[in-house]
Chains A and B, each alone.
Chain A
Amino acid sequence: MDHNQAFFLGNIRTALGEAPHSERVKSMFPKLFASPDTTEIRQKIAGRTVAEQDELVEIFLKNGNSLNICSHIVASSDAAAAVVVELIRSKEPEFNHTKHVIGHDHPDIAALQLWKRFNREAVTVHTAFNSDRQVQEKTIASFIGITAPTIGVADSATLIQLTEPGRPRSTSLLPSIHIAIMRREHIVADLQEAYTLLRGRAHLDSLVFISGPSKTADIEAHMVHGAHGPREVHLIILAEPSAAGSDAATTEAA
């Protein structure tokens, strides 16, 4: 603790009528950092049936729709790839004239095998590999960024993106279009469930909640999408028929 801090916190203690020079330590105030028991919530998430998960998907879609998230439900990686390929083909780059796409280093994105799908077209697909020193330039050049968020929140149509090796934050930020691929079982009901799962990830230096495309209403309260971040957000929900690993959300995020 530096001198500044000691003085500053001493001032606060004086203001609170405490002795300024005797530091108050958190172990003396166990209630201050007490959090409710989340065992029940964890069990609820882990025990969700496919039918219940499908219900959450429905809620997410409905809420996402009003936030301008375009959702696609697919049954396989191939079908997901088809959606992505169609988006890459039909959309035009905003900041340059070449079609670069960048994706996170994630098994669900690798499974799309995008590099195989543009043999005769001028589309370059990058992966934000941890070892690659050029990731930032590639991200700036890309018009589509693909991520696989860890948690989806049905109630607020929120995607929770954790910053991890091979999964930089700019992938869902710099490109004009953000495509998120999410397994059905990673969608939870509400923020309470999501925060419960996040507790185990609190050591991360950065994470972000994304609820829709970037927007502004600063000019005469007129809503415009694409202020600084992506102007479009597409969510592809991967709902494989054999929903093995319904507790994947728990294991992945815990």
Chain B
Amino acid sequence: MNDYSKEAQKALASPRLQASLHTLQDRFGKGAMALWANMEDQEMRRRVKKSRLKNLEHLDILLAELARNVRARGGKVYFAETAQDAIDYTLKVARDNKVKRVVKGKSMISMEIGIDPALEEDGIEVVETDLGEYIIQLAGDKPSHIIAPCIHMDRKQIGQLFAEKLGMDYTDDPPTLTMAARKELREKLLSADMGLTGCNLACAETGHISLVSNEGNIRMATTMPPVHVALMGMERIVATLEEHRETVQLLTRGAALQKLSTYVSFTGGPSSADDPDGPKEFHLVIIDNGRAKILADPEFREVLACIRCGACLNICPVYGRIGGHAYNSSYCGPIGAVITPLLDGINKHADLCKGETLCGACKDICPVQIDLPRMLAALRQKLAYASDRWDTRQHNPAEAYGFTIWRLIITRKPLYRSLLKIGRLFQRVFIKKNNMISSMAGIASGWTDGRDLPPIAKKTFTELWEEKYRNRQAAAAPETEENQ
């Protein structure tokens, strides 16, 4: 069994995770849908989507403008084509500044490019400062939700973890645990040499990056250490403050139903010489790492309009059962099922797009109405027929043969009907007491291992229709005559 199925089964077998996923989706998924339905300005989402797509079409101009404005304030801007380029640059900044400790503000792209191990190999201590991420780091685990990274752990586990790692008395009281982390992390934040963050949205015309947080860890990480390095996916940019205003509100609403997160901080360069705090060096690392390839494909460009709020996780029936770990990626849920294969290889992550249901809920809840189901289907198409552009090989040649045969059968009515009749006879031995087929042999077992299959009906729809229609026609005939 592959990792996806294994992790999914693990998640399904955990009542704790199932309960938290249910609570999460019940509150944030339903909440976001209600928010969109009741929003005064019903055009806002369409407007922001339009501006996101327009900005993608002019991305080179926007990034040049952003870089120009940041540099004008004395900030450094580095364009990193690959993950390795971004890592190398960040390491160089760390070495130049003799950095011993890095504090991180929650950043998905830092996980995407795998910067933590690279820093640690260099002998640098890396501390996650978002409470959920910190817990994950202490546990040596992986995050399982974009905004609630440790949703798969309960307070007892966290209490035990803190007792073990922080040397405190065991408690499962969330406020006490939070205060313990607050004290511990305050020390780290005040003594760190470098702050490492992502970027939620950059604004080209003013030359700022902006970051949202509720805890204040990102403000800390961008205020106290003498060096701030911000990693930014190249698509996370708006042209104007006006666009920023609308986009950031959709982000915080989609993420946690908030009009605004507790903090929205704007940084556009190092702090001035007479400022007692704020970084003396500011580095903005703009990262491609496969995004230009997505941009080049009209079929998938739309996915770069994503603002990473995580709303699609909060409604997806698949994520809602299997949780984040099965996706085995920095990005999970429906957005992960599209963006991970595109960034890291469609064949490598084939299970992700095949695992989603195409129900369309992710499109409905997306603040910028990204058509994820369409792209999931397009990814499956690449797997079914192979694609040179995406370097995919046919995922399952036997499947293709199967469908060729199926096409031959279903387009020949007499053959199809006679095979159906044979099937009806043949299936009798498999039908169990509950009138379901619960086990089949060979390759067919894939259909029945995890569920029961209803047997082929006694009559086909066409047969039923013909019977009914014949009767109705007979009944309707006199009426027709009268009318004439």
Interface residues of A (CB under 8 A from B): 1-2, 4-5, 7-9, 11-16, 18, 23-26, 29, 32-36, 63, 67, 95, 128, 130-133, 135-136, 139-140, 155-156, 158, 163, 165, 168-170, 173, 191-192, 195, 198-199, 202, 204-222, 224, 226-230
Contact = CB atoms under 8 A, between A and B. Distances in A.
19 contacts: A4-B80, A5-B64, A5-B77, A11-B292, A24-B60, A133-B276, A140-B190, A169-B223, A205-B272, A206-B265, A206-B271, A206-B278, A208-B219, A211-B263, A215-B215, A227-B178, A227-B182, A227-B214, A228-B185
A47 to B, nearest CB: 22
Nearest to B85: A4
Q: Which 3 A-B pairs have the closest CB atoms?
A: A229-B216, A227-B215, A218-B132
Interface string B32-65: 0000000000000000000000100111111111
Contact of A206 (B135, B174, B266, B286): B266
A12 B185 contact: no
A216 B79 CA distance: 34
Contacts of A158: 260
Contacts of A165: 272, 274-275
A11 B268 CA distance: 25
A155 B178 CA distance: 29
B451 interface: no
Interface in B269-313: 269-272, 274-278, 286, 288, 292-293, 295-296
A96 B55 CA distance: 49
A173 B150 CA distance: 25
Contact of A219 (B73, B174, B263, B270): B174
Contacts of B132: 216, 218
Nearest to B156: A220
Given A14-B292, A158-B260, A228-B217, 14 more contacts: A5-B64, A12-B292, A24-B58, A29-B61, A139-B277, A168-B277, A205-B267, A206-B271, A211-B261, A217-B214, A218-B135, A221-B23, A226-B178, A228-B216
A216 B240 contact: no
B61 A32 contact: yes
B174 A16 contact: no
A32 to B, nearest CB: 5
A177 to B, nearest CB: 13
B241 A11 contact: no
A215 to B, nearest CB: 5
Contact of B242 (A140, A169, A195): A195
Given A11-B81, A169-B278, A213 B262 contact: yes
B259 interface: yes
A168 B276 contact: yes
Interface string B171-205: 00011011101110110011000000000000011
Nearest to B63: A9
Interface centre among A12, A133, A136 (most CB of B within 10 A): A12
Contact of A207 (B23, B129, B148, B266): B266
Nearest to B78: A4
A63 to B, nearest CB: 8
Given A140-B190, A205-B269, A195 B260 contact: no
A92 to B, nearest CB: 14
A173 B219 CA distance: 8
B336 interface: no
Nearest to A5: B79
Contact of B129 (A170, A206, A228): A228
B131 interface: yes
Given A226-B179, A227-B178, A218 B131 contact: yes
A95 B274 CA distance: 27
A224 B174 contact: yes
A157 to B, nearest CB: 8
Given A9-B64, A16-B60, A214-B216, A220 B286 contact: no
B59 A228 contact: no
A170 B276 contact: yes
Interface centre among A23, A217, A230 (most CB of B within 10 A): A217
B217 A191 contact: no
Given A221-B23, A224-B174, A215 B81 contact: no
Contacts of A191: 245, 249, 260
B110 to A, nearest CB: 18
A227 B215 CA distance: 5
A206 B224 CA distance: 13
Contact of A202 (B130, B150, B206): B206
A12 B60 CA distance: 6
A8 B288 contact: yes
Given A155-B259, A210-B263, A221-B23, A228 B223 contact: no
A201 B146 CA distance: 32
Contact of A228 (B206, B220, B234, B296): B220
Contacts of A16: 57, 59-60, 295-296
B293 A15 contact: yes
B120 interface: no
A33 B58 CA distance: 11
